Structure 1
Amino acid sequence: MSERTDLLNKPDFSELVRVGARIGCLSFGGPAGQIALMHRELVDERRWVSEDQFLHALNFCHLLPGPEAQQLATWIGWKVHGNRGGLAMGLLFVLPGAAVILALSMLYAAAAGLGWFSALFLGIKAAVLAIVVQALLRIAGRALGTPTKKIIALAAFIGLALFAVPFPAVVLGAGALGMVLAARRPDMLGVKSSAPAETSGPRPWGATMRAIAVGAMIWVLPLALVLTTLGADHVLWKIGVFFSQLAVVTFGGAYAVLAYMAQQAVDGFGWLRPGEMADGLGLAETTPGPLIMVTQFVGYLAAFRAPEPFGPYLAGLLGAILTTWVTFVPCFMWIFAFSPWLDRLENAPRLKGGLAAITAAVVGVIANLTLWFALHVLFARLTPTSLGAITLDLPDLASLDWRVLVIALGSAVMIFRLRLGIITTLGVCALAGLVLAGI
């Protein structure tokens, strides 16, 4: 049997580009909607890969940091046309949304001082609260299947919300714990042992090392250019380093890292004002492509507000491009480096255990994000309070914005009772913000 006969229908490259562009422009609805779209287009209708291959690759992509839907698209392109196909499918999945959110970021920066624009985002921020709660409940329902996973999720929430444990430490610690438990008590994480994969031929070390070497060089190239021309104190260098670090620990999707990113962008670097992270998430929810594209919004505003020696719009453009570069180049590198190992990785119980524990911790991370958003969107003033090792941001109850509370409750009804889509809910809430802002 030929090694390529597992492909049911191999498209030519021009068809791959056409279909990839179509998926990239229609990939709304977060990873669940995006994965469902690819399954319909590429498995059911075009039969580029089989059902088993699709699910096998999806599990593999969950092992990797970064947006799993974009990496799945990259893998399918790699499967049918090698590295060229992977680049085409991965880029076409990202570029439409990147172009739209760049335009929206430019509009946001230009119109931020206008009253009607602030009123519009009053409603969007309120709707984001309900959207994040929905994401929390969905992920918790899938991820917390054992008591141990629930304990990990609770520990992650307490560590972040009360003790300000750094997000990377939570993710890496959960992964390490999961690998230990998988080796000794896999039942505690619901990890089933699997038979060793039947693989033949030499192990693909050469292809993996080449992909990592080339990918790492491409990844750091713009950072080296920024460092040598602008120095380590420039905002572009700080943007590049911060989002490069984030790209390595982005397990569990965009929601998992938003609170950490927002806290660093607001309190650590001063790039954003409180509440603007919710604005960015609202923009990202309305665009095609990965939700992690919200990072581009942050990179644009950070450079726009500290533009020297460039003008604000040029600096913002450079910040957005750099952020997108260091966020997504690693995604391609992971796929090209580890796809040849797919069968072996799928049957590695310790990796499965690490992923299961990380996924459980992500529930606690998103719970912390929900709390962080609620406090910053509903209340105008928060007071940092230290109680020994515990650090809390306590709200000033007198600063509650009743308009945001009303819209947030309405958005919850639309999402949980009426089951309206995210874009419809955001649109209705934005109009409600315009109406209530005048009261």
Structure 2
Amino acid sequence: MTNKTYDTVNASLPPSITFLSACLFWFKLGFISFGGPAGQIAVMHQELVERKRWISEQRFLHALNYCMLLPGPEAQQLATYLGWLMHRTWGGIIAGVFFVLPSLFLLILLSWLYVRFGHIPEVSAVLYGIKPAVTAIVLFAAHRISSRALKNSVMWIIAGAAFLGIFVLHLPFPLIVLLAAIFGAIGGHVAPEKFATGGHSSAQKSYGVAIIDDHTPIPEHAKFRWSRFILLVLIGLLLWSSVVGFLCWQYGWTHTFTQISWFFTKAALLTFGGAYAVLPYVYQGAVEHYQWLSATQMMDGLALGETTPGPLIMIVTFVGFLSGWNHLPLGADSALLGATIAACLATYFTFLPSFIFILAGGPLIESSQGKLKFTAPLTAITAAVVGVILNLAVFFAVQVFWPAGFNAAVDYCAVLIFAAAFLALSRYKIGVIAVILASASVGLLLAFVKPWLIQHGLIS
């Protein structure tokens, strides 16, 4: 590189990344991160890669590919990773916490409003309109993931088998994940070309020189050391076991608080495939097994999660709150306190593993600069997740279209709202929030119009 080129490059370097400026960005991100994982990752890319040029495209995708390998919310994990890369451990913790904190407070507030005022006719009408839209959103998520994951007949077979396994045989979600992983491990040796996948492609575009550029040396704190790795794993185990141990000592293993902690720990470790992958597992456990809340309440919680900033997996906050509200772990006189603690426990145990994955595993990834190799088991798991999410969409559809059971008439108004919402999402690419708001408005309108239609025999 000539001196002239070198001077030009240095002149184009953006300002350095101060800790305060990074904290302000992560704080802002927590309030503007709408649109699910894809939207949140796009916001980070636009701000950090394109506009601020804090990190290069290649390094950004390198981090994202690792986060996609992990169970849990990849957008929150990516924020934690980038914060850690810029400003060490505290940078990662602040980035990850700020990504979640606004939605935690907001969802606790919305959950309380929901349980207090959800039965008011006008609120019920709004929720009536939202439920078909939620069904359309989940089905669209299955469609979107399938277009990326089901690249050949083998992947379609895995997805179909997963759907039949959970829909017909009622197999638990962890077993489906395990079977898919085993099948993928075997298939990767027998027919590796069928299990090849690429995740996010390598960088194709440059936005100028970045502070953390393609060939920027690995920072000292990001170099792998076994002593640091073991220490962080032990700290993570301590943070987990100390809370679980206290809850067992204070309340016992079967208490709602303790079971929430254990259940959402498993959810955090088993939900590969992004935010929507957690929904079937949470539904199967929280609704069917523990009966902490109803299927209808689960759908309402998903609607709230879609319309608030932060990762979609924050629906666990709503589930935790409803679990505490419905089961009164601290007694009827402390219903709000018990529900709030349950919501915080669900959130804590859902996100704790993500921090450990990033802070302990990040140096390993930084030391292996270059494209990550996605494993065949992960490919099979992602395909299986499509079938599981489709099962959830079918279940929601049954609840919405036949609210009184199959022996009753179909709710054609709900079917029409669903069809319009799915068309808006899939064909016209309208945003999720706009679709939910429009569906809520239709539900409210129907509350006034439907009695007149029934009176004149236009609908039953």
Normalised to the residue count of structure 1, the TM-score between the two structures is 0.89
SS in 2 for 1:275: helix
Task: Give the Cα separation in 1 of the matches to 2:430 and 2:197.
Answer: 35
Find 1:18's aligned residue among 24, 41, 45: 24
Task: Give the Cα separation in 2 of the matches to 1:130 and 1:347.
Answer: 35
Residue 222 (structure 2) pairs with residue 211 (structure 1) = no
Uncovered stretches (5+) of structure 1, i.e. residues with no partner: 193-198, 383-395
Matched residue type, 1:433: G
Task: Give the Cα separation in 2 of the matches to 1:182 and 1:348.
Answer: 16
SS in 1 for 2:408: helix
Find 1:353's aligned residue among 376, 380, 384: 376
Matched residue type, 2:256: V
Matches within 5 A, 1:45-194: 45-191=51-197
Structure of higher CA gyration radius: 2
Task: Give the Cα separation in 1 of the matches to 2:224 and 2:47.
Answer: 32
Deviation (angstroms), 1:325:
0.4
Deviation (angstroms), 1:347:
6.4
Other-structure match for 2:424: 414
SS in 1 for 2:115: helix
Deviation (angstroms), 1:277:
1.1
Other-structure match for 1:294: 315
Deviation (angstroms), 1:369:
1.2
Compare 221-230 and 290-299 and name the one that shifted more: 221-230
Matches within 5 A, 1:251-290: 251-290=272-311
Contact 1:10 1:80 in 2 (8 A): no
Other-structure match for 1:428: 438
Contact 1:83 1:336 in 2 (8 A): yes
Other-structure match for 1:398: 408
Matches within 5 A, 1:324-363: 324-342=347-365, 343-344=367-368, 349=373, 352-363=375-386
Other-structure match for 1:233: 254
Deviation (angstroms), 1:337:
1.4
Contact 1:299 1:316 in 2 (8 A): yes
Compare 95-104 and 35-44 and name the one that shifted more: 95-104
1:64-93 CA distance string (max 9 Å, x none): 111000000000001111111100111111
Task: Give the Cα separation in 1 of the matches to 2:224 and 2:349.
Answer: 29
SS in 2 for 1:210: helix
Matched residue type, 2:121: G
SS in 1 for 2:295: coil
Task: Give the Cα separation in 2 of the matches to 1:262 and 1:379.
Answer: 19
Q: RMSD over aligned Cα, in angstroms?
A: 2.3
Task: Give the Cα separation in 1 of the matches to 2:369 and 2:262.
Answer: 29
Other-structure match for 1:33: 39
Task: Give the Cα separation in 1 of the matches to 2:351 and 2:238.
Answer: 14
1:187-222 CA distance string (max 9 Å, x none): 111248xxxxxx999963222211111012112322
Other-structure match for 1:196: none
Task: Give the Cα separation in 2 of the matches to 1:10 and 1:204.
Answer: 27
Task: Give the Cα separation in 2 of the matches to 1:208 and 1:8.
Answer: 32
Relative to structure 1, is the Cα distance of residues 332 and 76 closer, same or farther in structure 2, using a 3 angstrom cutoff? same
Matched residue type, 1:267: E
Deviation (angstroms), 1:52:
0.7
1:374-421 CA distance string (max 9 Å, x none): 112222245xxxxxxxxxxxxx14253233222212222332344321
Task: Give the Cα separation in 1 of the matches to 2:15 and 2:156.
Answer: 43
Relative to structure 1, is the Cα distance of residues 380 and 191 closer, same or farther in structure 2, using a 3 angstrom cutoff? closer
Matched residue type, 2:147: G
Other-structure match for 2:387: 364
Contact 1:157 1:368 in 2 (8 A): yes
Relative to structure 1, is the Cα distance of residues 399 and 221 closer, same or farther in structure 2, using a 3 angstrom cutoff? farther
Task: Give the Cα separation in 2 of the matches to 1:247 and 1:437.
Answer: 39
Deviation (angstroms), 1:270:
1.6
Contact 2:134 2:299 in 1 (8 A): yes
Normalised to the residue count of structure 2, the TM-score between the two structures is 0.85
Matched residue type, 2:344: I
Other-structure match for 1:247: 268
Task: Give the Cα separation in 1 of the matches to 2:346 and 2:363.
Answer: 28
Deviation (angstroms), 1:184:
4.2
Matched residue type, 2:245: A
Matches within 5 A, 1:294-313: 294-310=315-331, 311-313=334-336
4+ residue segments displaced more than 4 Å = 7-10, 199-203, 343-349
Compare 398-407 and 323-332 and name the one that shifted more: 398-407
Relative to structure 1, is the Cα distance of residues 421 and 376 closer, same or farther in structure 2, using a 3 angstrom cutoff? same
Other-structure match for 2:341: 318
Task: Give the Cα separation in 2 of the matches to 1:73 and 1:352.
Answer: 23
Relative to structure 1, is the Cα distance of residues 275 and 345 closer, same or farther in structure 2, using a 3 angstrom cutoff? farther
> Alignment identity in percent?
40
